[in-house]
Structure 1
Amino acid sequence: MTNSHPQRETDADAAADALHAALGRAGIVLPSLTADTASPDLGLVQLGRVRADVALRLAEVIEWGAGRARG
């Protein structure tokens, strides 16, 4: 999988907040979503574990968004 966005230093807290807000607009809650404080220099976001139905809903939203991005 390739990333079309150039890698840049991103604040993990801001990234987690942005992802939480976007998922919320899609009706998806990842209860364990947070910035990973164990490795602050890496800028990691902890997504956590979710029920299978939430994972399927997340996959549907990603597929929908990917389809829109392709045009």
Structure 2
Amino acid sequence: MTTAQKSGTTEATEAVEVLRGALTAAGIVLPSLGADTASPALNLINLGRVRADVALRLADVLRRGCDS
């Protein structure tokens, strides 16, 4: 694994933890949330699938955050 790949994996993992913390504070759980380790240089985050009620809650939280 190259330094760039290690860096990408670390960055993606840190981003997942920050996002998970913010979602938890808003009362939202994305069960499949995680770093996509298949392409570490791309720093991709897998948000996964969620139930419709969770998607609506997430949309509501985002809208309220955008209004402030």
TM-superposed deviation, 1:19: 0.3
When the two structures are superposed, what TM-score results if normalisation uses the length of structure 1? Answer: 0.81
Unaligned runs of 5+ in 1: 1-8
Q: Which amino acid aligns with 1:63?
A: R
Partner of residue 12, structure 1? 12
Unaligned runs of 5+ in 2: 1-7
Give the CA RMSD over aligned residues. Answer: 1.3
Q: How many residues align?
A: 60
- 1:4-33 deviations in Å (ceiling 9; x for gaps): xxxxx7800000000000000000000000
How far, CA to CA, are the matches of 2:61 and 2:39 in structure 1? 29
Bigger fraction of residues in helix: 2
When the two structures are superposed, what TM-score results if normalisation uses the length of structure 2? Answer: 0.85
TM-superposed deviation, 1:34: 0.2
Partner of residue 45, structure 1? 45
Partner of residue 31, structure 2? 31
| Higher relative contact order, structure no. (Cα contacts within 8 Å, ≥ 6 residues apart) | 2
The list of structure 1 runs, each at least 4 consecutive aligned residues, that deviate by more than 3 angstroms after superposition, is: none
